[in-house]
């Protein structure tokens, strides 16, 4: 791997970036939001609010990391932003389902 030129403002060259964990780590991470998107078609009764909340915290922390690391990792940020959005939607689906099932029990 080539040394980073100090005059390049800490930017990786294109071929170095494609071969680094700065690229492949976020690409592998896309499995999490893709799975969350697929789960949006499933019943909300299978959603675990504890796990979904943990994934929200995880993605929030890694969004901050991706933004603060130099050079900024926009691909990692986008991945965790997508995951954060999906997990918040999933939490909303779960709590809406729970609220509706409680009102159905009360009215029955």
Give the percent of the chain with pLDDT over 90.
67
Q: How far is CA 40 from the centre of its chain?
A: 15
Quick: pLDDT tens for 58-94: 999 999 999 999 889 999 999 999 999 999 999 999 9
Residue 56 to residue 89: CA distance in whole angstroms: 11
Q: Specify the pTM.
A: 0.77
Show Cβ contacts of residue 1 under 8 Å, excluding neighbours closer than 6 positions.
16, 19, 20
Mean pLDDT of 31-56: 96
pLDDT of residue 22: 78
> Which of left, alpha, beta for 72 (phi over 0: left; psi -120 to 50: alpha)?
beta
Q: How far is CA 1 from the centre of its chain?
A: 29
Quick: pLDDT tens for 16-32: 655 677 788 889 999 99
């Amino acid at each position: 791997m080539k040394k980073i030129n100090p005059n390049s403002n800490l930017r990786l060259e294109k071929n170095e970036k494609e071969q680094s964990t700065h690229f492949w780590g976020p690409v592998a991470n896309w499995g999490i939001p893709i799975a969350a998107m697929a789960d949006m078609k499933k019943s909300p009764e299978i959603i675990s609010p504890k796990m979904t909340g943990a994934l929200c915290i995880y993605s929030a922390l890694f969004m901050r990391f991706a933004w603060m690391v130099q050079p900024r990792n926009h691909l990692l940020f986008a991945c965790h932003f997508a995951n954060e959005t999906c997990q918040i939607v999933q939490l909303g689906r779960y709590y809406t389902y729970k609220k509706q099932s409680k009102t159905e029990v009360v009215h029955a």
